[in-house]
Structure 1
Amino acid sequence: MSVTRERRERERAQRHQLIITAARELAEAEGWEAVTTRRLAERVEYSQPVLYSHFSGKDAIVRAVAIDGFGELAAHLHRARPADPEPRQALHAVCRAYLEFATERPALYQAMFVLPTDVKFAHAETPPPLRAAFDEFVSCFRPDDARRELFAEVVWSALHGMAVLSDSGRIPSDGQEERLDFLVARFSDTPG
């Protein structure tokens, strides 16, 4: 590959990431309804055609933000999980980290789980960052348990419900720790 071509590809990748970052920042500051291709083009100081050379539209941008977010979530969960824990401690740490992630990054969480995207869960086309985040939950259950992915799905679903209901004010956020303890107790005491 020529030096010029490598430079162009590197610059394109940087522009691509710049657009994703700008979309996240704008969404965090003003909400996803404020994220338009016109506003993003102004923010990144490129024309709309340049933006469209990277993304087909807002849905594609939200998808890219979501996949970026799944990578961050996977890293966040991995850092939270103790290196050599007993299963209950690992599950509790990963669950708490998940809820913290949702609370600390509301617009990102919305892109990942609430806004419509074509990102597939539990599918052959599941993006690797999403699979990596899911695997952090799976690793909290005994390797010899054939149901560990099922357990991980149910725990993740319960956490998602807790995060969304708490964020919307439908359940009090001050009860989050008790709900988390209850969830972890039920799943860590699951017989093999």
Structure 2
Amino acid sequence: MTERKGRERAERERRIIAAARAIAASEGWPAVTIRRLADEIEYSQPVLYAHFANRDAIVAAIAVEGFAELAGLLETAAHSPGDHRTPLRSVAFAYLGFAEAHSTLYDAMFTLPTSLRFAGADTKPEMRKAFAALVAVVPSSAQGREVAAETFWAALHGLALLERSGRIRPSAHDERVVLLVDRLFRDE
């Protein structure tokens, strides 16, 4: 009985999250409200509140899913054959491709308000895994490997947002990635 209730609860949460992702992808995050979600999945608002304290908690759950997806993508990209900079470049291109292809998910992960925090005791495993995928491609000889990974990540995030908003030339996309990797890790 307890197992069944647990499965039913998990299924309701999956439906809520899936509906929120679908609405956000088609109409943007402002369209994602508790009322709209309740109507979409045919549950009452109190049922949604029994699963998630508020909209930000739903966004956080979606962000955690996004970090799991991003981690898998980066881990795959890190195994690209080539010279010692190839994994860095592949990870950079994969990261930027993810940000472009999944812009509403990327917003949930990085720009919308949530209680999610990195580098803390309560950091979600999916978030740790995504960051670990970045650290893994940073050369082991880099001083302050985690700081180098954070800097690499910050640069990629900046590029992702600037590219999406049209503030930098799309024609220089590949050149920027190569420059970033070559300059940031020039001594490696």
For the residue of structure 2 that corresponds to 1:56, the secondary structure is: coil
Flag the 1:101–1:146 CA change in 2: closer, same or farther, 3 A: same
Question: How many angstroms does 1:187 deviate by?
Answer: 2.5
Partner residue in 2 for 1:187:
184
**Equivalent residue in structure 1 for 2:50, among 50, 53, 66:** 53
After superposition, the CA RMSD in angstroms is 1.5
State the shift of 1:144 in Å.
Answer: 5.0
Give the drift of 1:141.
2.0
Q: Which amino acid aligns with 1:52?
A: Y
Identity of aligned residues (%): 48
How many matched pairs? 188
Q: Deviations over 1:57-114 (max 9, x none)?
A: 1111111111111011101111111167643111111111000000000100001011
Matched, 1:44 2:41: yes
Q: How does the TM-score come out when normalised to structure 1?
A: 0.92
2:60 aligned residue: 63
Check the 8 A contact 2:17/2:62 in 1, yes or no: yes
Is the aligned partner of 1:176 residue 2:183?
no
Q: How far off its partner does 1:40 sit?
A: 0.5
Unaligned 5+ segments in structure 2 are none
Tell me the TM-score normalized by structure 2.
0.94
Question: What's the counterpart of residue 17 of structure 1?
Answer: 14
Flag as ranges the 4+ runs of structure 1 deviating above 4 A. Answer: 83-86
Structure 1, gaps ≥5 residues long: none
Contact 1:91 1:188 survives alignment (8 Å) = no
Shift of 1:11: 1.1
Match of 2:5 in 1: 8
* Structure 2 letter corresponding to 1:129: E
- Give the one of 109, 112, 118 matched to 2:109: 112
